[in-house]
Structure 1
């Protein structure tokens, strides 16, 4: 299990992460979402002991990452697929890691096969790898010690559609066997397909978290009017944030409240309905509100 308790990180006056708390339970995939600069990577680096927190704490299996006797056997981490020794072959990169963790060298071949790097790819220098191949090697490194927890930051970058589908199945199988996955990605549809729980961060703060089904059930309201400017002004006057979407304005509020705001301003509506429960819409709604509050 991953436990994050009141975690904060400040750089001077800037709060990159501000009082963040959440838990990732065994048997689940938790999607960790937010726009660029929201604090996702900083939070994950603090969980993994790479960035010291200003306040709060993060633990894996009840311990700080730095206190784990053999971290690779407990936690598989992929934060940057390019942070690999470019002069080593794929097989050598895994062999060094296996030696460090005290693993049987046979695990190297098994993990290369698992991630789809064949014998020819394993003999190539990492500098010659495509981004997708580096991602596969990074996933192999994360899985090498047969950990109970995976922490992955944008693991699908560079993967083709077949590779993304493969990774989705791999993570789902890992969680179904009792593993814990914390997954950060901008590929919202892939997160929606594999995640059980969602944590959404904006401006360094958690703006929503919970079971995926519960969060997507309240996707806000979609509203259209012939005079979009008048509608936007009416919503602003009522304190309701609105964001452009392909079908109109998306508002993180109940349909009744949106309709009342338009009626009070005398704005005739062409459409007013609950938004479809899609992660993309939820994400845009929540992060738009956090961006407005922080002035970013």
Structure 2
């Protein structure tokens, strides 16, 4: 299990992460989502003991990461695919890691084969690797110690469509065998395909979390009016978060049609469209929950 409890990180007067709490259970893939600058990477670094929190705690397998006697045997971590020794070959990178973790050397070849880097690729120096190959090597490193938990930040960056499909199957199989996966990615459709639970962060705060089916079952309301500025003011007065949807002037609001209609009526705004947003999937949920927070952060 991964548990974040009231994690907060401040840099001077700037709060990068604000009171973030969530849990990742065994047998599940948790998608950790948010726009650039939302605090995802900072949160993951705090979980992995790389960034000390200003407040709050994080535990992995029941302990702070730094308290694990041999972290690589408990937790597989990939936060930056480029953080690898450029002068070593892929095989050498894993051989050093195996020696550090006390893993049998024969498992190096199996790990490389598992991620598709056997043969000539394993003998090539990392400086000659493409980003996709570095991602595969990073995944091999994360899996080398047979961990029960994976913490992955944008592991699909640089992978081609075939590689993304392969990674999806690998993570799903890992979770189905009882593993715990925390996955951060901007590839929303891939997260939607593999995740069981979602944690959405915006402006350093958790704006939604829960089961994927639960969250995607109610993705808000689509609303439109001829007086768009007036509609925006009415929604803002009512405390309802809204984001632009497409080019027709409609808005996506993270509230039900009754609340949206009432806010418009109270302000005397005539609506030309008011309906449930429907099944727009994870992309629509993401935009509804994060666009307004991102805009507010940008003007601070």
Q: TM-score, normalised by structure 1?
A: 0.95
1:110 CA displacement: 0.5
Contact 2:27/2:178 (<8 A) preserved: yes
Matching residue of 2:277: 275
From the superposition, tell whether residues 4 and 237 of structure 1 become closer, same or farther in structure 2 (CA, over 3 Å).
closer
Matching residue of 2:202: 202
Match of 1:290 among 282, 286, 293: 293
3-state DSSP of counterpart to 1:173: helix
1:247-291 deviation line (CA, Å, top 9, x unaligned):
621111111122233344454433321113411111111113434
Matching residue of 2:23: 23
3-state DSSP of counterpart to 1:249: strand
Matching residue of 2:77: 77
1:8-37 deviation line (CA, Å, top 9, x unaligned):
111112111121111110000001111111
Task: Count the aligned residue pairs.
Answer: 296
Q: Does 1:39 align with 2:42?
A: no
3-state DSSP of counterpart to 2:87: coil
Matching residue of 1:124: 124
Matching residue of 1:13: 13
Pairing of 1:208-247 with structure 2 (within 5 A): 208-246=208-246
From the superposition, tell whether residues 46 and 238 of structure 1 become closer, same or farther in structure 2 (CA, over 3 Å).
closer
Distance in 2 (alpha carbons) for counterparts of 1:226 and 1:122: 61
3-state DSSP of counterpart to 2:174: helix
Of 81-90 and 246-255, more deviation after overlay is shown by 246-255
Q: Does 1:51 align with 2:54?
A: no
Contact 1:224/1:270 (<8 A) preserved: yes
Of 230-239 and 53-62, more deviation after overlay is shown by 230-239
Contact 2:109/2:118 (<8 A) preserved: no
Distance in 1 (alpha carbons) for counterparts of 2:69 and 2:46: 18
Distance in 2 (alpha carbons) for counterparts of 1:140 and 1:117: 9
Contact 2:243/2:292 (<8 A) preserved: no
3-state DSSP of counterpart to 2:252: strand
Matching residue of 1:100: 100
Unmatched 5+ stretches in structure 2 = none
Contact 1:30/1:195 (<8 A) preserved: yes
From the superposition, tell whether residues 236 and 60 of structure 1 become closer, same or farther in structure 2 (CA, over 3 Å).
closer
3-state DSSP of counterpart to 1:259: helix
Matching residue of 1:258: 260
Unmatched 5+ stretches in structure 1 = none
1:131 CA displacement: 0.5
Matching residue of 2:65: 65
Contact 2:241/2:289 (<8 A) preserved: no
Distance in 2 (alpha carbons) for counterparts of 1:57 and 1:170: 30
1:29-61 deviation line (CA, Å, top 9, x unaligned):
001111111111111111111111111111111
3-state DSSP of counterpart to 2:85: coil
